[in-house]
Amino acid sequence: MKLIPHYLLRNLMRPWLYVLAGFSIIAVLIDLFDNFVNFMEAGTPFRQIFVYYAVLLPTYLPYILPVSLLLGLLYALWQLGKNSEITAMRASGLSLFQLIRPYLMIGLGCSLFLLALNELFNPWATLWTRQFSEMQQGSSELTSYFVSNVAYRNVVGNRIWVIDRFDPLPSSSYEMTGISLIQRRPDGSDEFRLVAARGRWVDQHWWFENVEMRYYLPSEQVDESPAPIPDMEMHHPLPSAQPDGLPIRIPSMEMTMISEEPRDFLNVIKDSTERSSLEIMEFIDKHRGLSEETQNRLLVDLHYRLASPWLCLIVILVGVPFGMHTGRRGMGLGILLALLTFFGYYVLMGLCLAWGKNQLIPPVLAGWAPLLIFFILGLVLLRRIR
């Protein structure tokens, strides 16, 4: 009996890998057409271009892996049905579940792989490739990349940051220039304000250069205005704050009193595709002043990132019923119906994401409802062919 699962998997692997390789080449070529002129004008070395596409290609896998798995499955089942092998296996006493179990294991394995890829690699890869692509417009060496006007509020630490330019690359020690930092007391009054020309992350803490620091007297006035967040206008110091002495100027200062790390600023400058689900939850937790609309959009992105990898398992459930009929009705019709169903999933997913971000449906429903609907559809279709 072990020979049959191996035989079924062998019939799936070859067409699946061919289709996967074809889609991967197409994805790389499309991106190359968009960036080829920039690479040539910047004089980007071939080695850097190769590294760029080696990092970029895994970010396409959440899209091309499910469809390639579906097409490979349809072709494998068509071959088996055309030669009446499925009928022979069923006649020998194998149940439908025993026949599709190897395919379900492949779908489950691909889903777990994509889940890990989305959490551990793709957020960083998406950010890195965007930085690389944008830098080719002005330089062929990936040595500096500045993000302007970074605003960050540490709610727990009562600190507000405004940074003119921030370099998110580790090679630059996360250099920042034009730093304004306000430290507040629990009552909302300013404890000190700090301005620094430059900052770098060295030995697991920040070092500031050309620092001007000024302390302020305690105030009974409590700031009751809404807590600012990085994507809104910064909340300025209390106008009633009274200086406690003259400004202190320090050429170089070790900032061991602050807890912010580079990852905190990196999470601020990322968009939804550049954050893992853990980073999204961390962002929401550290920015408690987020508006309801902004928090809702982030939660929709969170549930979508957790739900989308399971599409690989869904395409097996939906693809097997269509594939079982290709041997009798012809391969073309089965592929057409399966692809229409597959792209119908993406249409429904797009609608649910739009409804969720417009607060028409709950975020959890926006992320998981399409998956649940097509899971039920797959079970219904499987039941009909038993």
Tokens 């406690």 sit on residue: 244
Highest mean pLDDT among 130-144, 240-254, 327-341: 240-254
Give the residue with greater pLDDT, 211 vs 285: 211
Assess whether 106 and 36 both reside in one domain: yes
CA dihedral sign of residues 300, 306, 311, 317? negative
Amino acid at 363: P
Statement to judge: residues 103 and 15 lie in one domain: yes
Kindly state whether residues 164 and 60 are assigned to the same domain.
no
Q: Of 52-61, 252-261, 329-338, 375-384, give the lowest mean pLDDT range.
A: 329-338
Last residue of a domain, one of 221, 238, 258: 258
Tokens of 305: 């990132």
pLDDT value of residue 227: 43
**Residue with the larger pLDDT of the pair 48 and 291:** 48
For residue 103, the number of C-alpha atoms closer than 13 Å in the C-beta half-sphere is: 27
Q: Residue 44: pLDDT band by 50, 70, 90 thresholds?
A: confident
CATH code of 252's domain: 2.60.450
Range from 18-27, 210-219, 283-292, 326-335 carrying the lowest mean pLDDT: 326-335
Is 7 in the same domain as 109?
A: yes
pLDDT given at position 122: 92
Closest CA to 181 of 163, 165, 167, 164: 163
**How far apart (Å, rounded) are the C-alpha atoms in residues 307 and 352?**
13
Query: Cβ distance 361 to 355 under 8 Å?
Result: yes
Q: Clarify whether residues 340 and 229 are in a common domain.
A: no
Domain boundary among 200, 228, 258: 258
- Phi, psi angles (nearest 5°) of residue 216: -130, 150
Q: Give 348-367 pLDDT, tens digit per residue.
A: 999 999 999 999 999 999 99
146 lies in a domain? no
pLDDT recorded at residue 247 = 87
Cβ atoms 58, 125 nearer than 8 A: yes
Q: Is residue 95 part of a domain?
A: yes
Which region among 77-91, 95-109, 204-218, 258-272 has the lowest average model confidence (pLDDT)?
A: 77-91
CB contact burial 104-127 (16+ within 10 A = b; e otherwise): eebbeebbeebbebbbeebbebbb
**What confidence score (pLDDT) does residue 221 get?**
46
Q: What is the mean pLDDT of residues 147-151?
A: 85
For residue range 96-129, what is the model confidence (pLDDT) as tens digits?
A: 888 889 999 999 999 999 999 999 999 989 988 8
Number of domain units in the chain: 2
The whole-number pLDDT of residue 283 equals 85
Task: Look at residue 220 in the predicted model and tell me its pLDDT.
Answer: 57
Please indicate, yes or no, if residue 220 is contained in any of the structural domains. Answer: yes
Q: What is the pLDDT of residue 296?
A: 92
Q: Which residues contact 31 (CB under 8 A, 6 or more apart)?
A: 53, 56
Asked whether residue 295 is assigned to any structural domain, the reply reads no
pLDDT of residue 228: 45
Q: Do residue 11 and residue 110 come from a single domain? A: yes
The answer to whether residues 45 and 126 belong to one domain is yes
Q: What are phi and psi of 211, to 5 degrees?
A: -95, 135
Sheet holding 205-215, edge to edge: 147-154, 159-166, 176-184, 190-202, 205-215, 248-255
pLDDT the model gives residue 106: 95
- 194 & 251 share domain: yes
* Token reading at 284: 């929401």
Of the chain, the percentage scoring pLDDT greater than 90 comes to: 45
Q: What is the pLDDT of residue 98?
A: 85
Greater confidence (272 vs 27) lies with 27
Q: Is residue 266 part of a domain?
A: no
- The answer to whether residues 38 and 128 belong to one domain is yes
Q: Decide if pLDDT at 168 tops 60.
A: yes
Q: Is residue 277 part of a domain?
A: no
Predicted TM-score (pTM) of the model is: 0.80
Domain final position from 238, 258, 278: 258
pLDDT at 386: 63
pLDDT at 289: 72
Query: Do 84 and 14 fall within a single domain?
Result: yes
Exposed e or buried b for every residue in 33-50, given b needs 16+ CB within 10 A?
eebeeebeebebeeeebe
35 & 117 share domain: yes
**Secondary structure (H, E, C), the chain:** CCHHHHHHHHHHHHHHHHHHHHHHHHHHHHHHHHHHHHHHHHCCCHHHHHHHHHHHHHHHHHHHHHHHHHHHHHHHHHHHHHCCHHHHHHHCCCCHHHHHHHHHHHHHHHHHHHHHHHHHCHHHHHHHHHHHHHHCCCCCCCCCCCEEEEEEEECCCCEEEEEEEECCCHHHCCCEEEEEEEEECCCCCEEEEEEEEEEEEECCEEEEEEEEEEEECCCCCCCCCCCCCCCCCCCCCCCCCCECCCCEEEEEEEECCCCCCHHHHHHHHCCHHHCCHHHHHHHHHHCCCCCHHHHHHHHHHHHHHHHHHHHHHHHHHHHHHHHHHHHHHCHHHHHHHHHHHHHHHHHHHHHHHHHHHCCCCCHHHHHHHHHHHHHHHHHHHHHHCC
Evaluate whether residue 72 is within a structural domain.
yes
Q: Which domain holds residue 245?
A: 158-258
Chain mean position to CA 281: 13
* pLDDT, the chain, mean: 85
Residue 280 lies in a domain: no
Structure confidence at residue 308 (pLDDT): 94
Give yes or no: residues 245 and 191 share one domain.
Answer: yes
Q: Answer whether residue 144 shows pLDDT above 60.
A: no
Looking at the DSSP assignment, which residues form a beta bridge with residue 99? none
